[in-house]
């Protein structure tokens, strides 16, 4: 019974769920599909938790969609080789955003500007 409550803690809005979503995003750089699961969790839990967690959910949702936009542009530009470099830049951008978010979440702090396109 204790294990089930521990697992449900990761599904409930709040710090554990925010951390789980960042980890899903990082794993998606290798697996791909886990980012989709993460953004679904972010959409489901946004507006249900504490204020600082909501800023992370907004940041995570924007990370997903901005990353998808630039990944698509990168794939289209693969024909002129610059797409490979752009794809690497998108991966670095996503890693930096996730690590920044994980650091803030571990301290229970909100994202200062969750609407930003950068970090």
pLDDT in tens, 60-71: 999 999 999 999
Helices (H), the chain: 2-11, 15-28, 34-45, 51-76, 82-106
pLDDT, the chain, mean: 89
Dihedral-angle region of residue 70 (phi above 0 means left; psi in -120 to 50 means alpha; beta otherwise):
alpha
CB 22 within 8 A of CB 98: yes
Q: What is the pTM of this model?
A: 0.88
pLDDT in tens, 74-88: 999 998 889 999 999
Structure tokens at 73: 């542009």
Q: What are residue 63's phi and psi, to 5 degrees?
A: -60, -45
């Amino acid at each position: 019974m204790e294990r089930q409550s521990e697992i449900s803690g990761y599904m409930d809005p709040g710090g554990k769920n925010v951390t789980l979503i960042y980890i899903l995003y990082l794993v998606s750089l290798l697996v791909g599909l886990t980012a989709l699961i993460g953004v679904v969790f972010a959409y489901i839990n946004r507006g249900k938790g504490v204020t600082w967690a909501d800023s992370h959910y907004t940041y995570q949702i924007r990370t997903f969609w901005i990353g998808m936009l630039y990944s698509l542009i990168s794939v289209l530009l693969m024909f002129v080789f610059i797409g490979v470099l752009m794809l690497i830049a998108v991966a670095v951008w996503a890693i930096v955003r996730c690590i920044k978010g994980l650091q803030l979440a571990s301290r229970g702090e909100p994202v200062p500007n969750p609407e930003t396109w950068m970090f």
